[in-house]
Amino acid sequence: MITCEGLVKIYKSDDLEVVALQGLNLKVEDGELMAIIGNSGSGKSTLLNILGGLDRPSAGSVQVGPWDLLKISEDDLVKYKRETVGFIWQNNARNLLPYLSALENVEMPMMLSGKVDRTYAKQLLEWVGLKERMYNKLHQLSGGEQQRVAIAISLCNRPKLLLADEPTGSVDTATSDLIMGIFRKLNKELGVTIVIVTHDLTLAGKVDRVVAIRDGLTSTEFLKRNPNMIPGGGEEPEEKGLQAVHEAYVVVDRVGRLQVPKEYLNALNIKDKASMEFDGERIIISPPKSLGG
């Protein structure tokens, strides 16, 4: 569904140049449910905006399904945003119109594209658990209910890719679990590819794959261990009341570069150079040997 290779994004002003993405590589399979994590300024929100067609990359390549987002025309970009991608903002106000009911909010994007389907709009609100609340105005809904309306809106164009920016950032733990349950259901039953950007490591632990971004590059991946490797496997760990187990991997790009975790480098006192040896089974990285012997 998503292939990014050497993706670069540079923001320029009169006297300042900020490189938000420095050659990022990322692949997301069709039908995957995954999360992207990273500290503030790591580039994860920039990546999400590029995938959502809200920002243009500066260089590299980014392909979403059949769409080349580096070379796409303005007209095709509108079509891409209407037909391929759904977006859930962290700030509900960017998704919702306060003077409309929940149902009218879901129908509004349909009206703009000339394809109103009230039956489908009602079905979406049922899927997110708001069957009894669909005629309520927004001020009559809780923050968690408003976020679920936002999820329904993001699906009104039947997108193949759903992007969520901190979807549980302003709700309590119970509502966060409910929202993640909705994402899993949509992913499993509709086959929607879902990419979540989050600071919440608890939330990240509930998806199959987590990609960490540092300094504009993918640095580490965490893959959920096969449920069959867990005693009594065969079901999702969460469904069996077990905590998901993730294994960490350092990401190696196609030319062999990798990002070693900063804490490892600090522990070895490695700065700008390192010695590397291969013993036939393992690669060993150590501080440079002294030239003086």
More confident residue, 291 or 24: 24
Amino acid identity for residue 293 in this structure: G
The predicted model scores a pTM of 0.80
What is the spatial distance between Cα 172 and Cα 150, in angstroms, rounded to a whole number? 17
Phi-psi region of 264 (alpha: psi -120 to 50; beta: other; left: phi over 0): alpha
- Note the pLDDT of residue 93: 63
Rounded to 5 degrees, φ, ψ at 209 are: -140, 140
Q: Residue 293: is its pLDDT beyond 60?
A: no
HSE at residue 28, side-chain half, CA atoms within 13 A, is 30
Question: Which pLDDT tens digit goes with each residue over 149-204?
Answer: 999 999 888 899 999 988 877 777 887 888 888 888 889 988 899 999 987 777 77
Neighbours of 155 (CB within 10 A): 21
What is the spatial distance between Cα 226 and Cα 60, in angstroms, rounded to a whole number? 33
- Note the pLDDT of residue 237: 44
Question: Which pLDDT tens digit goes with each residue over 228-259?
Answer: 544 444 444 444 443 456 677 777 777 777 77
User: What's the Cα-to-Cα distance from 260 to each of 100, 125, 134, 219, 283, rounded to whole Å?
Assistant: 50, 44, 49, 8, 13
Bridge partners (DSSP) of residue 27 are 3
Neighbours of 86 (CB within 10 A): 23
Beta-strand pair 283-286/275-278: antiparallel
Question: Residue 118 is encoded by which pair of tokens?
Answer: 């009230």
Task: Tell me what the pLDDT averaged over the chain comes to.
Answer: 83
DSSP reduced 3-state for 253: coil
Residue-range domains of the chain with CATH: 28-57+73-260 (3.40.50.300), 261-293 (no CATH)
The dihedral of CA 158, 221, 168, 225: what is its sign? positive
What is the spatial distance between Cα 63 and Cα 119, in angstroms, rounded to a whole number? 33
Bridge partners (DSSP) of residue 196 are 35, 164
User: What's the Cα-to-Cα distance from 175 to each of 170, 178, 181, 182, 237, rounded to whole Å?
Assistant: 10, 5, 10, 11, 20
